[in-house]
């Protein structure tokens, strides 16, 4: 059974800490950049999300957003993925993400999402 509460590490050394897991399957916590992040100005940033009810789906789908705490720009990232449990009971998260930066005008909108 996948429970997102706790600490998770990415392949690049980033860390997600889920500190609050609500009865409604919502969660919150913080996202901390890892050593592979090329921007040293990124601070630990708040995250908010939700997952499917683990009582219904043992390997739930989840989503969360990170509101980056940056000094000079505005960015948010949306993550969408699924938690898997292998035969040894080890939990692994697989996710995709979209990062959005604030654009100065509609003409610059095309380059604001990665």
* pLDDT, position 77: 93
Closest to 14 measured CA to CA, from 90, 72, 77, 101: 77
Non-local CB neighbours of 7 within 8 Å, separated by 6+ positions: 15, 16, 17, 18
Closest to 1 measured CA to CA, from 58, 84, 86, 81: 58
Task: Give the homologous superfamily in CATH for domain 6-108.
Answer: Avidin-like (2.40.128.30)
- What are the pLDDT digits (tens) for 62-108? 999 999 877 677 899 999 999 999 999 899 999 999 999 999 999 99
User: pTM for this one?
Assistant: 0.85
* pLDDT, position 36: 53
Arithmetic mean of pLDDT over the chain: 87
- At residue 27 the predicted structure's pLDDT band, cuts being 50, 70 and 90, is very high
């Amino acid at each position: 059974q996948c429970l997102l509460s706790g600490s998770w590490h990415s392949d690049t050394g980033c860390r997600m800490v889920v500190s609050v897991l609500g009865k409604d399957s919502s969660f919150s916590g913080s996202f901390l950049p890892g050593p592979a992040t090329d921007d040293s100005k990124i601070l630990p940033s708040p995250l908010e999300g939700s997952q499917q009810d683990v009582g219904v789906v043992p390997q739930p789908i989840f989503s969360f957003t990170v509101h980056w705490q940056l000094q000079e720009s505005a960015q948010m990232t949306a993550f969408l993925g699924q938690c898997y449990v292998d035969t040894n009971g080890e939990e692994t998260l697989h996710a995709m993400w979209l990062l959005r930066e604030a654009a100065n005008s509609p003409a610059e909108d095309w380059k604001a999402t990665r």
